Structure 1
Amino acid sequence: MTAELTTERLLGLDALLSDEQREWQRRARQFATERIAPVIEDDFEAKHFRRELIAEAGAAGFLGMHLEGYGTAGADAVSYGLVCMELEAIDSGWRTFVSVQGSLAMSAIAKFGSEEQKQQWLPGMAKGELVGCFALTEPTGGSDPAAMQTFARRDGDDWVISGTKRWIGLATLADVAIVWAQTEDGVRGFAVPTNTPGFTATAIEGKLAMRASVQCDIVLDDVRLPESARLPGAAGLSGPFSCLNEARFGIVFGVVGAARTCLEVAIERSKSREVFGKPIGAMQLTQQKLADMFVEYEKAMLLALHLGNLKDAEAITPEQISVGKLNNVREAQKIARTARGILAGDGITSEFPVMRHMANLEAVATYEGTDEVHSLVLGRALTGFAAFR
């Protein structure tokens, strides 16, 4: 029995899923293993994102799949989470792509856009014919969006936006950027066509994680937009925060996929690597490590599923999403590090995916809320005191 079948049998996840949810998981696993896995090590090494696969992801229904109408799939939250898990089991960069496109850019338009904006952007984005990005984070403080310095001022009937954004996924590929800016009336969102004069996106170089995806700096130099570009339903930081919660939910499931891959690789390697005359998997210390890894993987998966069911029941809270993001990323990091140790020196080579997952998980731990931020979210919920400042 392969490690994959062993972990799936022990977990028994199938019994907790509907036929539709299992079908989404199967479809995502097939796409990830057939289209991404054969090229991901080369792409990570070459810092290459395969844009040609975007339309295939759209045809599979993965883009904005949790939304209703406008060519989206209207799938439930658990199904979306399972797709995130299967994509991230191969590489975090591809789950990030689906997250940025669907949970951030498309969700912002679906939640807060005008009917004209929805018709203009969402069908093409669902098909993968158009790409979106979500420009919130700034160079001086991703964890404090209330301090954003990007500003949109009125000039007659137009808006003029100036400022900078950093770590914006897909920006050099995007057709539309959802830009959040301060105004005289508070934070507002804008759907900015990326060919608008004054908009410049530059890919960030030197990354040691997320190398098979694209993150960028953005400069907005007096970008002039009509009033029709403003998202009319977005007022204040509740707008971007609601989109961030959608993305964080995908992470809760996604990192379980990375953990599962690391665990399965460690199991297989423990059977074939021999030390002191027998496979290391026959030694007690190794079995203890594998057992601990599996237990944490199982708990993370069950937590993700619980949160997915809460989300489908429209009963989930931001604090509960923080629990999932904080715990599951943390445990995935531990599982990846333990797997790397079981693989010994070979674990740092591209012969195995573990070191790549370790690097990517370091990035995932930082974005969509650091450990510290999510800890303070939970601390506030537990004590009633806000300790962010």
Structure 2
Amino acid sequence: MLVNERDGIGAAGTVAAALWLGQALGGPVIGRLGDRRGHRNVLLVACAANAAALTALVTAVLSGLPLAPRMALAVAAGLTVPQVGPLARARWARLAGADKRLLGSALSFDTTLDEVGFVFGPALAGILAVTVHPASALVLAAGLILVFGSLFAVHPTAPGPTSPAPGARADVRLWSPGLVLLFAMSVLQGAAWSSANTGVNALAESLHQPGAAGLIWAAMAVTSSIAGLVTVARPGSADLTARLRWTIAVQAVLTLPLLAVSGLIGATLAVSGIGLAVAPHLIALFGLVERTGPAARMGEAMTVVASGLILGQAVAAAASGPLAATYGYRAAFAVACAAVAASAALSVVAATRTAAPPAPSPSPRPSSPDRPRSRR
């Protein structure tokens, strides 16, 4: 939409970064409020506010307002994103209880559904940009959030307000070394996506086909969805830490062909290849979040790591947008390759830290050795 209004890829990246930064800051707050006050009221307010902010952002762009108010509205839109994905994962954790196999399948399926959504989102945005108007996709997004986000808010699975059990600590500690490492990996993953996406947009713009960028990016979601469904159907015997290592290592290798891309077909093939490792990596990542985060603050733990993805996208958008405008689309692709390589290196450390020992039990009975985090 911003490129179509002759703002250029640099300004578009700046506004996108503002939206993502707002989402990264607001996500953990909404997750924490959801854990403490229940999902229903928190999400209903967030959905209404987010739909209003998106509508105001579209109006500001089409009215030709300066960059500063556009950025302010983008931050507001980000702050109010209702965090349906992370809170859905928290609901799965509550519903599955102690059945770890069921929980693993549920989280895998949920992550795959995210990828399926990413198939239709960019493709639909690209089609609407070409056939209707570049702003129509954001207007549709506002409507979808308002309607289906509200339905998610009032669904019977929505947990109500929680209060600490008698004798329990009022505020369970959220952060642990394992969660910090998973958050750092999510930041790098988000940076890789954002830089690659910026490169695809810059390439499409240089070829005078900006509407094709969404369709190209949807190719990654197609292959990622297929890989996710395969992972759900055949989870394999490797533990989550091992999956985390090899999936990001494969993704690092598959990202390198972006540096040789020179046309839309090549870009489509390259991002399709990357998608083969995306969903399996996210399945392992959020599976480890469930094992590492405290049960009493699971919604917040999920939103924190999901916000890491958004924070990485915001930082990378702010950096790769101007780089692509100055040096061309390959500069953005180079940032993507560097981010995935750094994440692969960090995964070696994360693999040894996420399987943390269980916290000391307050009761005389010893903790069960197969429980890597606090008891539910």
Q: Normalising to structure 1: TM-score of the pair?
A: 0.29
> Higher strand proportion, which one?
1
TM-score by length of 2: 0.30
